[in-house]
DNA sequence: CTGTTAGCGCTTTCAC
DNA sequence: GTGAAAGCGCTAACAG
């Protein structure tokens, strides 16, 4: 079913059908109606692909992700809510599982779709972003600094400091850090916040207590295990994201440790999964859905050529649940 | 940056570049290497759009949704996990906010993308599905019966019966039903399960207690309010999905009712949001991620031409949290 | 007002 | 082994 079928059925040329579809001037009312009737009758819808190849305006916004995991899907919900009245449609593209390992998925996806299919793109946690893209781009939680494309992120530094101070306030001094993807600026800032809070409390960072996690359950597995089987293990762990925090809790439990009695764990992100975990995870909340909504608004403005402040940073907040506990004032035997 | 640019830089024709990209025979090793070098150097990626228009095989699976809400995004997570080793990429398409109201978004999206962009599609809670599509289609939680395309769903009837029996077991007899989208078979089955459980307990259904909710918070608002302000209100409500269950709890709280002390509420789906609600929602779990994974596997087989049982029904299970409570044996004053 | 024509970027015969 | 040419479904000049 193509525009040609419609044209033939209506007894006009494809050009005329195209004009009717796109509400261009220069079509007689009678012709227009007849064509419209045929379109309705046949249930014809123009191919987004063919149209985009030619016209370079599609009314579709792309969301480019490495994978559909809790963070990106949460963002998607926020974007979806915000898109409602804009007239845009949404196309979320994941370069398949391979992308997790393969760097440069952002550029690849952008090249594959950017030329024609989408009018603008939201890049979710991209590592590298070529500043001179063909289409407007907004990056959420990117690696880039203030240069590069417009960005939306949250206050990772303050959030990490809050997390660490919270643990400190609970009497913990041996606090482990399970870091995030090293290629992400947010992960770097979270580690920095951890170090700042410790320094402010006059506690030296024990290098043994600092591990690189990642952002996937299986990647967090080994470093979490190492951390918890140390000769002098931490009494609390700050994991740089909820997924690795949840995995840390599971590893602790496999090791016979009770959370929070024997080990306190705090995460970062506040993805819905953090509430489903047993015990429910105490974490630093990012306003993920709001970040998505803001990224979309920013991008829509960009596509429309509206000037905007190019960087938006949203606040984080502590969400207390049940995975952290005050350290007993005197450890038995000490 | 097009294939033409690569061809010019490498000093060959576009046809040759195309052959190199697609690993076709008939290219000299030296030429192939030279072209490959240019591709790498320029960072060229072929346009999915242009390629798909011509070749009709893209290695991309489409997931067509009305909206990115908790159910569809949960499904997306399951699909994303399952796609990892298949070599397919994922393209989730939402017809924008308008779709919620507009019926037929499934057909429209399918027509727009199906011709060329995607090799197969997973339709999420579609209402109408034209059986003779151009590409393989799997429907998740569809309206259709056993005819129509292959489907994946959960045992809605048994789940609804379980939910109602659970409330009955807690001593409730005035149990309200906040139904789901009337155009969904799953909603019909959930109501049916409710009726069956009540009948089995020898309780007549009070028509006042049966309301049509929908699947969006604001749609559930009014019927929930009506239900709770009845002269003789229910002591428990079975909402046909978590989103309207959560909204019911909020409405109850606005009305000064405590949940679960004054009102028990049970949902259906077990989306992550149900655990975040206050109090955490007792609900009937569908294995949503697994449903997504199975739908993907089914579709991949379909695309590959493998024969399969066309309908898969997964079991549901009660998840007890804190929104339901045993009814006091004797109501005060009665 | 309407139809013819020329591409968009790519793949695919089919000559050379 | 390589390139010229046709065409996927559509839109955008331009003639008629």
| Between B118 and B101, the higher pLDDT residue | B118
Pseudo-torsion of CA B102, B108, B112, B118, nearest 10°?
A: 110
pLDDT at A182: 83
The verdict on residue B333 lying in a domain is no
CB contact under 8 Å between B92 and A91, yes or no, is yes
Residue B117 binned pLDDT confidence (cut-offs 50, 70, 90): very high
Residue A334 binned pLDDT confidence (cut-offs 50, 70, 90): very low
From B80, B97, B272, residue closest to A273, measured CB to CB:
B272
pLDDT at A99: 47
The verdict on residue B330 lying in a domain is no
The verdict on residue B177 lying in a domain is yes
d(CA A259, CA A265): 7
Residue B87 gets which letter from DSSP? -
The verdict on residue A330 lying in a domain is no
pTM: 0.93
Per residue in B198-251, pLDDT tens?
999 999 999 999 998 766 767 788 899 999 999 999 999 999 999 999 999 999
Reduced to 3 states (helix: H, G, I; strand: E, B; else coil), residue A82 is helix
Q: Flag whether pLDDT at A218 surpasses 80.
A: no
Q: What residues in B contact A90, CB-CB < 8 Å?
A: 68, 93-94, 96
Residue A328 gets which letter from DSSP? P
Q: What percent of chain B has pLDDT over 70?
A: 94
Asked if the C-beta of A34 comes within 8 angstroms of chain B's C-beta atoms, the answer is no
In chain A, which residue's Cα lies nearest the Cα of B80? A68
Q: Which residues contact B306 (CB under 8 A, 6 or more apart)?
A: none
- B278 and B168 in one domain? yes
Contact B122, B61 (CB under 8 A): yes
- A residues 244-283 lying closer than 8 A (beta carbon) to B: 271-273, 275-276, 280
- Å between B274 CA and nearest CA of chain A: 9
Exposed e or buried b per residue across B290-323, where buried means at least 16 C-beta atoms within 10 angstroms of its C-beta = bbbbbbbbbbbbbbeeeeeeeebeeebeebebeb
Q: Flag whether pLDDT at B54 surpasses 60.
A: yes
pLDDT at A13: 94
Nearest nucleotide to A44 by CA–C1' distance?
Answer: D9
Rg (CA), chain B: 25
Q: Flag whether pLDDT at B317 surpasses 60.
A: yes
Kindly report the CATH number assigned to the domain that includes residue A296. 3.40.50.2300
What average pLDDT score do residues A97-125 get? 82
- B177 and B116 in one domain? no
The verdict on residue A334 lying in a domain is no
In chain A, which residue's Cα lies nearest the Cα of B98? A84
- A269 and A248 in one domain? yes
The verdict on residue B7 lying in a domain is yes
Opening angle at CA B228, ends B226 and B230, nearest 5: 70
pLDDT at B150: 93
What average pLDDT score do residues A114-125 get? 92
- B34 and B181 in one domain? no
Q: Flag whether pLDDT at B331 surpasses 60.
A: no
From A87, A97, A108, residue closest to B84, measured CB to CB:
A97
- Å between B23 CA and nearest CA of chain A: 18
The verdict on residue B257 lying in a domain is yes
pLDDT at B291: 98
What average pLDDT score do residues A305-333 get? 88
Total domains, chain B: 3
Asked if the C-beta of B30 comes within 8 angstroms of chain A's C-beta atoms, the answer is no
Q: Which domain holds residue B181?
A: 156-286
Q: Tell me the pLDDT of chain A averaged across its residues.
A: 91
pLDDT at B144: 75
Kindly report the CATH number assigned to the domain that includes residue B29. 1.10.260.40
Residue among A172, A174, A171, A165 at smallest CA distance from A194:
A165
3-state helix, strand, coil in chain A (%, to 5): 45, 15, 40
What average pLDDT score do residues A43-51 get? 93
Contact A61, A118 (CB under 8 A): yes
- A275 and A164 in one domain? yes
The verdict on residue A323 lying in a domain is no
Per residue in B268-298, pLDDT tens?
999 999 999 999 999 999 999 999 999 999 9
- A118 and A184 in one domain? no
Q: What residues in B contact A43, CB-CB < 8 Å?
A: 107, 111
- A204 and A121 in one domain? no
**Phi, then psi, of A60 in degrees rounded to 5:** -125, 130
CB contact under 8 Å between A89 and B95, yes or no, is yes
pLDDT at B10: 95
Q: Flag whether pLDDT at A188 surpasses 70.
A: yes
- A102 and A171 in one domain? no
- A128 and A88 in one domain? yes
- B164 and B252 in one domain? yes
- A172 and A141 in one domain? no
- A211 and A119 in one domain? no
| Between A287 and B217, the higher pLDDT residue | A287
Per residue in A232-276, pLDDT tens?
999 999 999 999 999 999 999 999 999 999 999 999 999 999 999
Q: Flag whether pLDDT at B146 surpasses 90.
A: no
Asked if the C-beta of A289 comes within 8 angstroms of chain B's C-beta atoms, the answer is no
């Amino acid at each position: 079913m193509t525009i040609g079928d419609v044209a033939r059925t209506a007894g006009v040329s494809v050009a005329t059908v195209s004009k009717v579809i796109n509400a261009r001037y220069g079509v007689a009312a009678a012709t227009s109606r007849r064509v419209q009737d045929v379109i309705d009758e046949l249930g014809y819808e123009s191919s987004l692909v063919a149209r985009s190849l030619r016209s370079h305006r599609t009314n579709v916004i792309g969301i480019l992700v490495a994978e559909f995991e809790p963070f990106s899907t949460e963002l998607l919900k926020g974007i979806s809510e915000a898109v409602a009245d804009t007239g845009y449609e949404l196309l979320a593209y994941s370069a398949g599982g391979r992308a997790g390992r393969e760097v440069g998925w952002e550029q690849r996806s952008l090249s594959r779709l950017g030329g024609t299919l989408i009018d603008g793109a939201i890049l979710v946690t991209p590592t590298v972003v070529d500043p001179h893209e063909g289409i407007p781009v907004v990056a959420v939680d990117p690696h880039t600094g203030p240069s590069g494309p417009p960005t939306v992120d949250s206050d990772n530094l303050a959030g990490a400091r809050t997390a660490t101070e919270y643990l400190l306030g609970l009497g913990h001094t041996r606090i482990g850090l399970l870091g995030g993807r090293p290629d992400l600026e947010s992960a770097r800032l979270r580690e920095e916040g951890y170090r700042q809070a410790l320094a402010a409390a006059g506690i030296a960072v024990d290098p043994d207590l600092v591990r690189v996690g990642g952002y996937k359950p299986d990647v967090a597995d080994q470093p979490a295990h190492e951390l918890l089987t140390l000769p002098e293990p931490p009494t609390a762990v700050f994991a740089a994201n909820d997924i690795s925090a949840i995995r840390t809790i599971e590893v602790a439990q496999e090791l016979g440790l009770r959370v929070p009695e024997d080990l306190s764990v705090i995460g970062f992100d506040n993805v819905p999964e953090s509430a489903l975990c047993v015990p429910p995870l105490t974490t630093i909340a990012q306003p993920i859905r709001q970040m998505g909504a803001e990224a979309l608004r920013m991008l829509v403005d960009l596509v429309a050529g509206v000037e905007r402040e190019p960087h938006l940073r949203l606040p984080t907040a502590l969400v207390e649940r049940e995975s952290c506990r005050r350290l007993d004032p005197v450890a038995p035997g000490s």
